[in-house]
Amino acid sequence: MWLGTRIQTSCEELEEKVSDICRRIAGTREIVAACFYGSQICRDTNHKDHANILLVLKDFRLRLKSYQKSLGETSILVLVVDKRAFERDVEQGWLGEFVADKITIPYQSFENNEYLWQKEVKMKKRIIQELLKNMVLEYPELSHEFLIKAEYFMYKAMKQRARLFPPIAYSYLNMLDNAVKTKTIESTMKGYLRALKELAEEDQITFSNKYIKITPNFIKTIKTQKLRIPTFLKSLQKAALANLLSVFPKMTVPFTREEEIFRKTHQEVEVDDLSAQLEEPEKYLLISTPLGLVALSDETTIEEFVRKTVPDGRALDVTVEKTGGVLNDVYYLRLRKGGEEQRIVVKKFKDWHGFKWFPLALWAMGTKAFAVLGQSRLEREYSINQFLSKKGFLVPKILYVSPGEGLIFEEYIKGETLVHDIKRIISSNSRQAPEGIALVKEVGKKIAEAHRLGITFGDCKPENILVTDEKGLYFVDLEQASRDGNQAWDIAEFLYYSGHYAFPFSSTKGVEFIVRKFIEGYLEGGGKEETVRDAGSPKYTKVFSIFTPPHIILAISNLCRNVRD
């Protein structure tokens, strides 16, 4: 019976001789645990040429030291570490995980396997927690939707470690060689699976079929933490310590051996960036679409999407037409067959920079922070769309996502923007637009319902609300939407933006009617009066005063600030 990443072999004679070496090194000190480590555990169970040993001693004053010994033709390298130093490396990365890393990959214990198994699980549990935390910080909205394969944590940990300390990549690549890959993965994953089970019991993750999901409680906890820099500093610390420790000649021997093995078996492989040779972790990080699960590394182009949509090669007339989009590229994709036509909206999310971004930043300076990176806007568009759809809101159906290309494919919604109704209400002073008035009230109600669910739209102007033939209200362009955002901004943007359709010297009657009906709907939908009052404050009026007439701004602000007074 064995535990953890340990692999059993038949080399009992070598174990006895190595145990004797370890006892001599330990002297009067207690041996806490000992094991073989390195890629030869998977490749060569007899250790014919060399063997790497990790020896944990109690009260080892030197903290960390290596000894080189020989057993006939077998070269033995013993890495000795103090028990407390080892445990601090497991729990905090105290030695840059230089030592603790040895039990995150296959090892063969010959002294106190139970102790090593416990430390392996603790180490892998910390690795998973750190990766989950980074995932939430990097993808604050999309993390709610991720379906994670357990292998993600193993590959991501290896990839990060190889980037911080490149020499270790040789060992990983040797262990993941096709001849031993299955054995390596099966052995390595045992500790990760046990750690995941413990995290599920602590309500940090849940299991959904064969996938892992991050719990809302964990996401909320991470997002509410104020200090986020330490995660980055920890990576620097690990890299610095690992590189510092590796300068000691004896400690570099295992890495030199792994490099020799790799070069013998992979002569055709470029070694400039070894981490690039490792499995891409994002292949195991998935999101759901009607066309199936999509990996975060997916780089499907528009042309490839068409082939996936029509896999049997039926003849289609395909047209791609670029439309609108100052800050994004937006395309209409038309698929025609016979007399039928399907229209799909394709959005390409690019990073905002230069003159495209500057006016927007200047416009809302100090009041509203916009998502700038294409990745951030894509994840918001996808995740908030999915959330609102499940809650019964009318939003365009997302057909496919290509994160690598920054593309989202959505159904085309036929309808007019709410701008047309807003203009009719203003021009008629509310007398001849009863349908539009009802729609404005419904918009207020829907926004309040979203706010009650913790969702803010972020870009809530009338242009982003479509009215269909059935008078259903569709909320589109959700790239600035988020959880727990600025609710007053949604109200302010909708109302002040509506007001800018009034002529400079026109009456305020129509606009005032829009404001009253919107507020009426908002409060009926469960919105808070204080949120409405906040929308009337100067920090919002100054933003929209650039393009909305002053007397309109004043009228809207007064109605908001005096709600139900």
- Greatest mean pLDDT among 107-116, 157-166, 273-282 lies in 107-116
Q: Which CATH architecture has domain 298-411?
A: 2-Layer Sandwich (3.30)
Strands 285-289 and 147-148: antiparallel
Q: Which of 188, 175, 181, 156 is nearest to 258 (CA)?
A: 175
pLDDT of residue 4: 47
**Inter-CA distances, 204 with 56, 212, 216, 540, Å:** 32, 10, 8, 38
Q: Which position has the token pair 């903290």?
A: 63
Evaluate if residue 47 carries a pLDDT over 60: no
Evaluate if residue 371 carries a pLDDT over 50: yes
Which one-letter amino acid corresponds to residue 423?
A: K
- Which sign does the torsion angle of CA 117, 122, 127, 129 carry? positive
Evaluate if residue 565 carries a pLDDT over 80: no
Confidence of residue 283 (pLDDT cuts 50, 70, 90): very high
Confidence of residue 558 (pLDDT cuts 50, 70, 90): very high
pLDDT of residue 233: 47
Residue 94: half-sphere exposure toward Cβ, Cα within 13 Å = 13
E strands, 324-405, in order: 329-337, 340-348, 398-402
The neighbouring-strand residues paired with 334 are 319, 343
pLDDT of residue 488: 96
The neighbouring-strand residues paired with 467 are 416, 473
CB burial of residue 237 (10 Å; 0-12, 13-18, 19+): middle
Residues 330, 347: contact at Cβ < 8 Å?
A: yes
Three-state secondary structure call for residue 340 = strand
Which one-letter amino acid corresponds to residue 73?
A: E
pLDDT of residue 49: 74
Which one-letter amino acid corresponds to residue 301?
A: T
The neighbouring-strand residues paired with 81 are 56, 64
Summary mean pLDDT of the chain? 85
pLDDT digits (tens, 9 = 90+) for 303-333: 899 888 775 656 567 788 877 655 568 888 9
Name the fold adopted by 416-561.
Answer: Transferase(Phosphotransferase); domain 1 (1.10.510)
- Helix, strand and coil in the chain, % to nearest 5: 50, 20, 35
CA triple 257-261-264, angle to 5 deg: 140
Range of weakest confidence among 138-152, 164-178, 364-378: 364-378
pLDDT of residue 364: 54
Q: How far apart are CA 442 and CA 457, in angstroms?
A: 15
What are the structural domain ranges in the chain? 12-120, 121-232+263-283, 298-411, 416-561
Q: Which position has the token pair 């036509």?
A: 341
CA 103 to chain centre: 27
**Length in residues, the chain:** 565
Q: Which CATH architecture has domain 12-120?
A: 2-Layer Sandwich (3.30)
Evaluate if residue 127 carries a pLDDT over 80: yes
Confidence of residue 378 (pLDDT cuts 50, 70, 90): very high
Complete edge-to-edge strand list for the sheet that includes strand 50-57: 64-71, 74-82, 50-57, 31-37, 107-111
Helix/strand/coil (H, E, C) string of 221-287? Answer: HHHCCCCCCHHHHHHHHHHHHHHHHHCCHHHHHHHHHHHHHHHHHCCCCCCCCHHHHCCCHHHHEEE
pLDDT, mean of residues 139-167: 92
Q: Which two tokens stand for residue 115?
A: 């102790």
Evaluate if residue 6 carries a pLDDT over 60: no
- Which sign does the torsion angle of CA 453, 455, 456, 461 carry? negative
pLDDT, mean of residues 516-524: 96
Q: What is the pTM of this model?
A: 0.85
pLDDT of residue 245: 53
pLDDT of residue 269: 63
pLDDT of residue 232: 45
Buried b (16+ CB within 10 A) or exposed e, 371-409: beebbbbbbbbbbbbbbbeeeebbbbebbbbbbebbbbb
